[in-house]
């Protein structure tokens, strides 16, 4: 069984100032997604599904097909691709979109866009985050082990210290879990950064309290493992979400919220998988030079070939 990789690439990168998904950061112009695809193929993923917006789909799809046309999985089969669209009006009947809303419905809504094209265990990642080789191997192994499971999901947790930006505060979901590594809560914190005294602090999104955070705590970088039954459960939760929020202009349906609802309802459990890999990304434009330097270092030390794809 070859799991599928679902790439959330519909975000516009407002803080970054452009489409991060198409920004060439590697020595030969590779994007962060290019490295994720490379690592996923090596880990045994057989299909990639992209969630994109309609306005850049044509350019994005053409670039992807040209770049990856010769990529093959370890078993020799060509890597498969599909593209799905996330737009504001893609909501179930009988709900009617508020014409004043401009903000997307969130990451859990984006995942639902792929319900008709994914029938196997799948991973979810952001298109603008670098997760590392080991993270993909760990998650691919987990997905293969749970191909016959239902209601058992996973999240790859990264040490908070390794996910901060020197250019400004970031938002992270801090994971809590029990003795069996089962997720019990994801607490969203905003404006997280390491202060001059070396202490990591952030604002709890629920009460606004400015708190000290454990730099070694595992946090969510939106790298999840799901089995196909997730779609049915999430769709039901989304309808309940819309009943309360259809008129809202900014409320979003996030993956942690969907998973939390399933856990509390006894419909699922979610295992927290730790990884030795270091995350990095380009939350802000100022982060770009450090990421470019990192990929240059990877090429010089042989971690990745350059160019990544011939």
Phi, psi for 292 (deg, rounded to 5): -60, -45
Question: pLDDT value at position 103?
Answer: 87
CATH code of the domain made up of 4-300: 3.90.550.10
Query: What count of other Cβ atoms lies within 10 Å of the Cβ of residue 271?
Result: 17
Q: Please give the Cα distance from 115 to 62 (Å, whole number).
A: 23
Question: pLDDT value at position 19?
Answer: 56
- Cross-strand partners of 236: none
Q: Which residues contact 275 (CB under 8 A, 6 or more apart)?
A: 131, 132, 134, 135, 138, 156, 157, 158
- Rounded to 5°, the CA angle 1-122-20 comes to 130
Helix, strand, or coil (residue 237): helix
Question: pLDDT value at position 126?
Answer: 93
Give the start-to-end residue ranges of the domains of the chain. Answer: 4-300
In tens digits, the chain (310 residues) has pLDDT values of 899 999 998 864 444 344 555 778 999 999 999 999 999 999 999 999 999 988 888 888 888 888 888 899 888 999 999 999 998 899 999 999 999 998 889 999 999 999 999 999 999 999 889 999 999 999 999 999 999 999 999 999 999 988 888 888 888 989 999 999 999 988 889 999 999 999 999 998 878 889 999 999 999 999 999 999 999 999 999 999 999 999 999 899 999 999 999 999 999 999 999 999 989 888 778 888 999 999 999 999 999 999 998 7
pLDDT tens digits along 113-132 = 999 999 999 999 998 899 99
**Burial label, 161 (beta-carbon count in 10 A; 0-12, 13-18, 19+):** middle
Peptide bond preceding 23 in cis form (omega within 30 of 0): no
Contact (CB, 8 A) for 268 and 259: yes
Question: pLDDT value at position 110?
Answer: 96
Contact (CB, 8 A) for 159 and 213: no
Question: pLDDT value at position 253?
Answer: 92
Query: What count of other Cβ atoms lies within 10 Å of the Cβ of residue 191?
Result: 13
pLDDT tens digits along 20-79 = 557 789 999 999 999 999 999 999 999 999 999 888 888 888 888 888 888 998 889 999
Token pair listed for 164: 């901060």
């Amino acid at each position: 069984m070859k799991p599928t990789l679902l790439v959330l690439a519909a975000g516009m990168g407002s803080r970054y100032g452009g489409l991060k998904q198409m920004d060439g950061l590697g020595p030969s112009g590779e994007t962060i997604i290019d490295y994720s695809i490379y690592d996923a193929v090596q880990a045994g993923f057989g299909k990639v599904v992209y969630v994109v917006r309609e306005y850049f789909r044509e350019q994005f799809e053409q670039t992807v097909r040209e770049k990856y046309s010769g990529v093959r999985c370890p078993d020799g089969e060509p890597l498969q691709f599909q593209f799905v669209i996330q737009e504001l009006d893609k909501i179930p009947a009988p709900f009617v979109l508020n014409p004043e809303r401009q903000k997307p419905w969130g990451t859990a809504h984006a995942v639902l866009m792929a319900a008709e094209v994914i029938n196997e265990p799948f991973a979810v990642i952001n298109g603008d985050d670098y997760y590392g080789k080991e993270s993909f191997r760990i998650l691919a192994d987990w997905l293969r082990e749970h191909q016959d499971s239902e209601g058992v999901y996973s999240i790859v947790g990264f040490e908070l210290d390794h996910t901060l930006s020197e250019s400004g505060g970031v938002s992270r979901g801090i994971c809590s879990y029990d003795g069996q590594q089962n997720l019990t809560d994801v607490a969203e914190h905003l404006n997280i950064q390491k202060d001059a005294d070396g202490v990591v602090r952030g604002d709890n999104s629920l009460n606004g309290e400015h708190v000290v955070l454990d730099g070694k705590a595992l946090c969510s970088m939106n790298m999840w493992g799901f089995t196909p039954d997730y779609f049915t459960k999430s769709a039901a939760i989304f309808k309940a979400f819309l009943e309360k929020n259809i008129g809202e202009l900014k409320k979003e349906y996030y993956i942690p919220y969907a998973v939390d609802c399933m856990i509390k309802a006894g419909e699922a459990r979610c295992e927290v998988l730790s990884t030795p890999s270091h995350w990095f990304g380009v939350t802000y434009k100022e982060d770009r030079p450090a990421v470019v330097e990192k990929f240059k270092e990877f090429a010089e030390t042989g971690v990745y070939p350059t160019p990544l794809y011939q």
